[in-house]
Amino acid sequence: MNELLKKTATEQSRALKNKEISAVELTQAAFERINSVEDKIGAFNSLTQETAMETAKKVDEKIAKGEDLPLLAGIPLALKDNMNLVGSKTTASSKILENFVSPFNSTVAQKLLDNFVPIVGKANLDEFAMGSSNENSAFGKVHNPWDLNKVPGGSSGGSAASVSSCEATLALGSDTGGSIRLPASFCGIVGMKPTYGRVSRYGLIAFASSLDQIGPFARSVEDAANLLEVISGHDPKDSTSLNMPVEHYADFLKNDIKGRKVGVIKELITEGNMPEVQKAIENAIETYKKLGCEIKEVSLKNLKYSIGIYYILATAECSSNLARFDGVRYGYRCSNPENLMDMYTRTRAEGFGPEVKRRIMLGTYALSAGYYDAYYKKAQQMRALVTQEFLEAFKEVDVLISPTCPNTAFELGAKSSDPLAMYLTDIATISCNLAGLPGMSVPAGFDNSGMPIGLQILAPQMQETRLFNFAYQFEQANDFYTKLADI
């Protein structure tokens, strides 16, 4: 492997500016790496080589003219295949969209192109971002670069695996209930979910609109901070977009955290964790103590209801959002339908996979007459209580920490036949989406078989600078983030 591909985006940027390598050479090296390992990993649904090389050439032209480069210009990036990029297939890993070619750019894709970031391909995911293992894709499972027999986590498994295996230096994923943080934890990299509304969702194929948020994957906290800066900002095309200034997050990384308060979520460190995960969290607590932080145990009593709340609200919103995939205007259509109802029924039956069908049915049931108040309305009320509990907790502490997941990556197929066991994988991550908080997973150690463990850090709404600060201080006090999968 080209040694430069193992470097962080910050280091690659420096090499480009010092003319040690060209953007075309770096992007070409990324494609060579993809060609050498992709058949083992399955991280990409499609490659966008032409677009990426065009972007890289523009970067080299700017360097030759002595012009200043935008942040992350020339750094290879993988885009989750539920974000539109003109001229590329945008499939959401579903048969129903297998031949859909995007006619427009999502706002995040446009921002990447405006900053001359080469997009090398569209990353595989659980179909319509529904899953925790990336085994629900219509185009094949993604394999964890640390152990090819294990899952990479979901739903942004392709994005995480591409960064972990050095096929791309950066990636974008979407996080509805942990879909960035969980794969980051399983693949030993940094994954960050911003505050709801911080990043535009325009051009993201919707799963659950009140929960979805686009965020960065990287091999260091600094890289994630820079990528968030590139994709953040108010967007009039997204009605939920926050009208707030974009901060230079990297400026806050080195702030001293001595005397600050770190809350440990009691309900997530008491039982159900793998012994190695428990030990990693204890080590993280010790790290923060050495950094001069005050540790405080925080109880979030309503956290135990978060899975139930999430799987009512998320499925209800998915049932509504996915109604548009009916075979009428775009996407898959069944052959020789007898009438309109036959076309609707067969198109959706043939086009959607089992997990998507399961969630549509759950959501439709929760929204149906006679059950709306009992399920959907009650879940919304409980969501408000979970959010309030976080607000109270953040009056006492600066950040909250927990394991990102109670376990490390499991074997492919281990939980496929047990949806509930799969759903419980997200026990630590879901509440962050319910409350619209920024959250991050950073590498925090390894289990006895060498699989990565993630530490989850949560901050109050709009406090990304604080989140990056605490994450960076933890990262730099350890060397976990420097370890790479051997593939």
Sort 116 into a burial class: Cβ within 10 Å, 0-12 / 13-18 / 19+. Answer: buried
DSSP track, 390-451: HHHHHHH-SEEEEESSSS-PPBTTSSTT-HHHHHGGGTTTHHHHHTT--EEEEEEEE-TTS-
Residue 140 inside a domain? The answer is yes
Q: Which of 155, 165, 185, 441 is catalytic?
A: 155
Total structural domains within the chain: 1
Handedness of CA 75, 80, 81, 82 (dihedral sign): negative
What's CA 463's distance to the chain center, in Å? 18
What pLDDT does 242 receive? 97
In tens digits, the chain (487 residues) has pLDDT values of 689 999 999 999 999 999 999 999 999 999 999 999 999 999 999 999 999 999 999 999 999 999 999 999 999 999 999 999 999 999 999 999 999 999 999 999 999 999 999 999 999 999 999 999 999 999 999 999 999 999 999 999 999 999 999 999 999 999 999 999 999 999 999 999 999 999 999 999 999 999 999 999 999 999 999 999 999 999 999 999 999 999 999 999 999 999 999 999 999 997 789 999 999 999 999 999 999 999 999 999 999 999 999 999 999 999 999 999 999 999 999 999 999 999 999 999 999 999 999 999 999 999 998 899 999 999 999 999 999 999 999 999 999 999 999 999 999 999 988 888 898 899 999 999 999 999 999 999 999 999 999 999 999 999 999 999 999 999 999 999 999 999 8
Catalytic residue from among 88, 137, 162, 179: 179
Determine whether 155 is an active site residue: yes
What is the residue range of 445's domain?
Answer: 3-259+399-482
Query: Exactly one of 7, 13, 22, 80 is catalytic; which is it?
Result: 80
290 alpha-carbon distance from chain centroid: 30
261 half-sphere exposure, CB direction, 13 A CA radius: 11
Question: How many CA atoms lie within 13 Å of 68's alpha carbon, on the beta-carbon side?
Answer: 2
Cis peptide before 155 (omega within 30 of 0): yes
CA 148-151-152 angle, to 5 degrees, is 95
Is 95 inside a domain boundary?
yes
Parallel, antiparallel, or unpaired: how do β-strands 190-193 and 439-446 relate?
antiparallel
Strand partners, 173: 215
Whether the CB-CB separation of 15 and 74 falls below 8 Å is answered with no
Three-state SS annotation for 254-318:
CCCCCCCEEEEEHHHCCCCCCHHHHHHHHHHHHHHHHCCCEEEEECCHHHHHHHHHHHHHHHHHH
Please check whether residue 12 lies inside any domain of the structure.
Answer: yes
- Whether 71 contacts 229, CB under 8 Å: yes
Question: Is-catalytic flag, 80?
Answer: yes
**Phi/psi at 80 (5° precision):** -55, 140
Active site residue 402: no
Instruction: Give the side-chain half-sphere CA count within 13 A for 99.
Output: 7
The confidence score (pLDDT) of residue 192 equals: 98
109 is a domain residue: yes
pLDDT at 141: 97
Question: Residue 335 carries which side chain, given as an amino acid letter?
Answer: S
Q: Is residue 421 part of a domain?
A: yes
Residue 122 covered by a domain: yes
**Token duo for residue 430:** 């879901």
CATH classification of the domain holding 28: 3.90.1300.10
Contact 180, 162 (CB under 8 A): no
362 falls within a domain: no
Per-residue pLDDT, 1: 63
For the chain, report the end-to-end CA distance as a whole number of angstroms: 10
Kind of pairing, strands 119-123 and 77-80?
parallel
The residues, any chain, with a CB within 8 Å of residue 330's CB and separated by 6 or more, are 100
Domain assignment present for 386: no
**CA–CA dist 326, 164 (Å, integer):** 36
Query: Which residues on adjacent β-strands are paired with residue 442?
Result: 455
